[in-house]
Amino acid sequence: MARNPRFDVLFEPIRIGPVTAPNRFYQVPHASGMTNDLPHVRASFRETKAEGGWGVVCTGAVSIHPSSDDSPLPFASLWDASDVRAHALMTDAVHRHGSLAGVELWHGGAITMNRTSRLPPLSPSGLPWMSTHLGFMGNQRPRVMDRADIRALLDWQAAGARRAREAGFDIVYVYAGMGYLPYEFLLPEYNRRHDEYGGTIENRTRLVREMLAVTRDAVGDRCAVALRISLEELRAKPGKHAESEAHEAIALLSDWTDLFDVKMDSSPTDCAPSRFAPEGSHEPIVEFVKKVTSKPVVGVGRFTSPDFMVSQIRRGVLDLIGGARPSIADPFLPRKIDEGRENEIRECIGCNICISSWHDGVPVRCTQNPTIGEEWRRGWHPERFEPAASDASVLIVGGGPAGLECAVTLARRGYRVTVADAAAEFGGRLRFETRLPGLATWGRVVDWRLGQLRSRDNVSLYPGSAMGIEDLLASDHPHIVIATGSRWSRMLYASTEFPTEEFLAPDVYTPDDIAAGLIPEGPVLVFDFDNYYLGGAIAEHLARLGCQVDYATTAGSASAWTFMTNELPLVHRALGKAGVRIHLLQRVSGFDGREVEIADVFTGAKRTQPCRSLVVVGVRTPDDALYRQLIERDADLRRAGIHSVTRIGDALAPGAIVHAVHSGHRFAREFESESRPEPYRRDFQV
């Protein structure tokens, strides 16, 4: 199909200093969990985006010196010739598709703990980052940089830029954002110096100007020089000669850079989850930049709508449409728009599972796109599939995330697929969860897959069709996939950190009961030791319905694992706004329908409070009775011509939605396939 003319502006080339981006789609630097130890994984990951039409494809943060050591979190480096070779794999791969390759040179300053290098962190004034989360805490405090340290930093930046040019990069960054070293010089809260690098905004931007200057000297006219800068805090500070210090900083730095890459100051606002921020949430902070500079500006905002992208350009907010999460959810987003297939875009849902990959130190994952990070390891491509090995048909029982993903992938391979679900609507757990506060966007997981399935003539969909054993034996499908999900249990939490037996008392409920429409009598205690989003979301949901709600958890924070997805502070604010009282490091030790007894998880100290309903959000168990009944009837399966019965998703092992989608995709990719790595290829340094 032809491209819709109203999107033509997105495909205009843009000059960035000495280089030209072929279009306005710019994959900004973002963490991927891929270090120099995974050079082939990284190169294939980035290449897929270039193949998909992103005109610029950048690395994540790349350390310029061992004093910028973020271990055990994954980070890349450009310290020596070996690093140059590793990065050259990526630039060569990106260039094969006509895209530009960018590198985000990075020094973490006081935020990095240098756990491996054991060098004291550097900072403008010796102030440490006092993280509230254990994974970022450390005992090593930074030292104050003197002039010799500043000269050394400039030398490291220049050396990193020369290596970047040697590795084939087209755009070389100075990174002055997210609390890292150049950013620490920009803010008076961090920078308390009394020399030419401190005090006025002119002095506080001096280091960034000097870093840009040495970068340009190092790369010459071969590469563009880009500045990535966080503006949230500076925008909040009144300027002496302009509306804010952000305005002044952009004006002071404009002559020194070829491109401004503008962003927020902290992960929860910069990579804001869809639960708490809409598409384009950065605009109120960054909209002024193009009014101050003539240089091209790129920014992000979880852009998924082509019309919204065009609006950003037409209204003068951005010159280039930055994408991190949308480029992960659909590496072929630009090409689909270019080919008039924008209705096929696999939209980012803003769940931030991709962010959690970096915190976990593993290659990036995505709820929407199970192929991401698997391009080299498992040979998965988001748009290409091994053709069907036979004319076999597959019956999938269950139309939740795992079943729908399995069906889409099998259908794209060419198999005949039937999906049956007992519920009147497909979606599985998402039928309920998308009705919880802020989670409606997650419905794209179901909507995209149903759209794909309904457009194919080798797919049959049967909602409202409960399947029993005899139905399956008479179904005339040689392969059956059980994707019936899981059920929440009423197990409580023991001091051994394992669940105890089911607490089968009146007025004890699970999320399945709430999903069925139950509104418990208050006061309600939501007891959460699942620790992801659902416990907090249910507590907020019940409070909005008018219930008096308390929330108790065995962890040190509400919905503690949402720290990994940048949601944690926002969850606490939402619960506070809803009037939900939070009880941390507590477990339920008794409940009689009138009072609940909770005990400190460490001391065992107990107390009681009024409670009429207890909602337990803790352990899920597979809903796999149908599978177990089937495999016990081996003779009947043979007589019915059924060659395989398989479990996928939560019916196999309960997990997050990302796990269910990956499980369904993996089965469908490997079904009747001879090319399956076991379990995946291991990468190696070059």
Q: ∠ CA(203), CA(209), CA(259), 5° rounding?
A: 135
CB-count burial class (<10 Å; 0-12, 13-18, 19+) for 464: exposed
The 10 Å Cβ neighbour count of residue 340 is 13
Determine the 3-state secondary structure of 142 from DSSP. Answer: coil
Residues 265, 274 contacting (CB under 8 angstroms)? no
- Is residue 115 classed as helix, strand or coil in its secondary structure? coil
With a CB cutoff of 8 Å and minimum separation 6, the contacts of 678 are none
Best CA proximity match to 388, nearest among 485, 483, 456: 456
Q: Which of 26, 173, 175, 180 is catalytic?
A: 180
Whether the bond between 679 and the residue before it is cis, its omega within 30 degrees of 0, is yes
d(CA 121, CA 131): 15
Cα 318 to chain centroid distance, Å, stands at: 23
Amino acid letter, residue 538: I
Do residues 69 and 116 lie in contact, with contact meaning Cβ atoms separated by under 8 Å? Answer: yes
SS3 of residue 57 by DSSP = strand
Residues 29/56, Cβ–Cβ less than 8 Å: no
Q: How many residues does the chain have?
A: 686
Distances in Å between the Cα of 359 and the Cα atoms of 69, 342, 354, 426, 562 are 15, 32, 9, 32, 11
Instruction: Please give the torsion angle defined by the CA atoms of residues 605, 608, 612 and 614, in that order, rounded to the nearest 10 degrees.
Output: -10
Is the sign of the CA dihedral 273, 275, 276, 278 positive or negative? positive
Residue 648 near residue 2 (C-beta atoms within 8 A): no
According to the 3-state scheme, what is the secondary structure of 185-252? HHCCCCCCCCCCCCCCHHHHCHHHHHHHHHHHHHHCCCCEEEEEEECHHHHCCECCCCCEHHHHHHHH
- Comparing CA positions, the residue from 399, 340, 412 lying closest to residue 371 is 412
C-alpha 230/C-alpha 390 separation (Å) is 54
C-alpha closest to that of 551 among 487, 604, 598: 598
Residue 547 CA, chain-centre distance (Å), reads 33
**Residue 493 is among the residues annotated as catalytic for this protein:** no
**E strand or H helix at 459, and its extent?**
strand 459-462
Checking DSSP bridges between strand 595-600 and strand 606-610, what pairing results, if any? Answer: antiparallel
Residues 6+ positions from 516 with CB-CB distance below 8 Å: none
Q: What is the dihedral of CA 39, 42, 43, 46, to 10 degrees?
A: -160
User: What separation in angstroms does the CA of 500 have from each of 46, 112, 490, 495, 620?
Assistant: 45, 40, 9, 9, 13
Residues catalogued as catalytic: 180
